[in-house]
Chains A and B, each alone.
Chain A
Amino acid sequence: MAKITFITADNESITVEGTSGSVMELAVNNNIKGIDGDCGGVCSCATCHVHVESEFVAKTGQAEELENDMLEFDDLTNEYSRLSCQLQVSEDLDGVVFKVAK
């Protein structure tokens, strides 16, 4: 099980627990504001955009090419950007903090 924290645009911090699925699904199931997951996780909508808090980048790893291409044309993108639908919930993500981009 992993404890994952989301910080929304209005600075609310919400910690939730998950065992499987994607980080996007975890966020949507917990009604995290700013994460919609419109395309259901196929990397087509960018409504699951998060910024990984810098100290956790080693845990999340880097985005793949198609994910990066998607982020390239998003105005909210920075070097810590990820599409949370492309991140799987696992023990490895325990303790990670994501800032919701929108």
Chain B
Amino acid sequence: MKASEFPDAFKDARQKEGVGKMNDQDDPVTMVLRHKEVRKCAHQWQAFQSGGEEVGRIVIPSEVKIRDTRQIPFEIDPPEHKSFRDILNPWFKRPLDEDYSAKLATIIEEIVEESLESNNVEIVEEFALKLQSRALTLLLNIPYSEADLWISWGTHVFRSDDSDLDVNKANILYKYIDKQIDLAIENPSESLYSVLLNSEVDGKKMTKEEVKGVLILTFAGGRDTVINAVTNSIAYFAGNPKALAVLKEKPEMINNAVEELVRYFSPLTQMGRVATKDTHVCEHAIKADTRISLNWASANRDENVFENPNEVVLDRKVNPHVSFGFGTHNCLGATHARQILRILLAKLSQKVTSIAILDSKENIENLGEFNRKVGFNSLNVQFKK
């Protein structure tokens, strides 16, 4: 397979059945595969809930065994969900501020410039992880230097080489966040920690546990996803050098190009929900208290919605992809992620003419009968001016 290609892993099942099955730690998942049904189930938050009793269950692989803190607002449903979202939305829209995007541009430009000087850059660790970590200091509004520690954690904060979920590794992050919250209580600043500690939701001060829940979401939700999106974009441009020239000439295409790449890559394959009653999806019975997943990756290749779904059409105009989810629980970090990718495409197209792949190891997710390429474990390239 070419490094720049990301096949549709779900086509047959989507067309024939509309659903697919996978097991996950003895808590099976019925994957919803068609675009329309994915959006419909995402919309029906009462029937398919996020905020059930068991914390971590809607994540696949399930985090029930490694996490007790409820991620907020991700694992809360309306009406409480809205109260949290109302507080968080303005903060997570800051990436649109001029000052923020200028700083983000500096971060990205520096990494691109540095990479141009090297004749072998490993994109996952040396480019995407760095970029993601440094950009996160802006989102949290904390000193830039903090990124060094996160970079030192490596890409696998939750996984180790021999297991999908590693309690010890996850605990590094959870303990770190606990400590940062305590530091913010002692020394209030303008950081997200302090802002949340001073926030009231429905007339009540946010608790430490709630603040921790928002921070875990911010760290975890934006890590592999952004790393995949950035790394895969580099792989795409390596395979399609003309695209860099096109974007250089027509920077006004960048917005649509970002949306299209995000559709094509679907950096997060799926997200789970728990059925609250016996129901059905595409004529398949779903029992109460079992899990479904909203398979964004499959929906994004649905031939009933997208013409030439397996092609990257950089200027695709109508593009109702669901890479940032859909409905009530849509991605809180989407503005930040979009700004990162828009700036990345601008800088790459201005400064790079071609990218040569030296070596690549694909990251294949094993999802029951399906195997999906979601990104890379490593991608070595050389950038050319």
Contacts and interface: CB of A to CB of B under 8 A. Distances in A.
A85 B39 CA distance: 20
Interface string A38-57: 11111111000000000000
A66 interface: yes
B319 A43 contact: yes
A73 B316 contact: no
B344 to A, nearest CB: 15
A33 B338 CA distance: 21
A87 interface: no
A73 B328 CA distance: 11
A42 B326 contact: no
Interface string B304-329: 01000000000011111110101100
B335 interface: yes
B320 A43 contact: yes
Interface residues of A, number: 16
Contact of A42 (B39, B43, B317): B317
B318 A73 contact: no
A42 B327 contact: no
B34 to A, nearest CB: 12
B319 A42 contact: yes
A69 B259 contact: no
Contact of A38 (B320, B326, B338): B338
B255 A40 contact: yes
A44 B338 CA distance: 13
Contacts of A38: 334-335, 338
A2 interface: no
Interface string B327-342: 1001000110010000
Given A41-B255, A42-B256, A73 B320 contact: no
Contacts of A32: none
B242 interface: no
A64 to B, nearest CB: 8
Given A69-B36, A73-B40, A44 B319 contact: yes
Contacts of A39: 259, 319
B338 A42 contact: no
Contacts of B305: 66, 69
Contacts of A86: 318
Given A38-B334, A73-B39, A73-B327, A66 B320 contact: yes
Contact of A69 (B42, B320, B330, B338): B320
A44 B296 CA distance: 13
Interface of A: 36, 38-45, 64, 66-67, 69-70, 73, 86
Given A42-B321, A44-B322, 20 more contacts: A36-B93, A38-B338, A39-B319, A40-B259, A42-B259, A42-B320, A43-B318, A43-B319, A43-B320, A44-B259, A44-B321, A44-B324, A64-B318, A66-B305, A66-B320, A69-B305, A69-B320, A70-B320, A73-B42, A73-B327
26 contacts: A36-B93, A38-B335, A39-B319, A40-B338, A42-B255, A42-B259, A42-B316, A42-B318, A42-B319, A42-B320, A42-B321, A43-B319, A44-B319, A44-B320, A44-B321, A44-B322, A44-B324, A66-B305, A66-B318, A67-B318, A69-B39, A69-B320, A73-B40, A73-B43, A73-B326, A86-B318
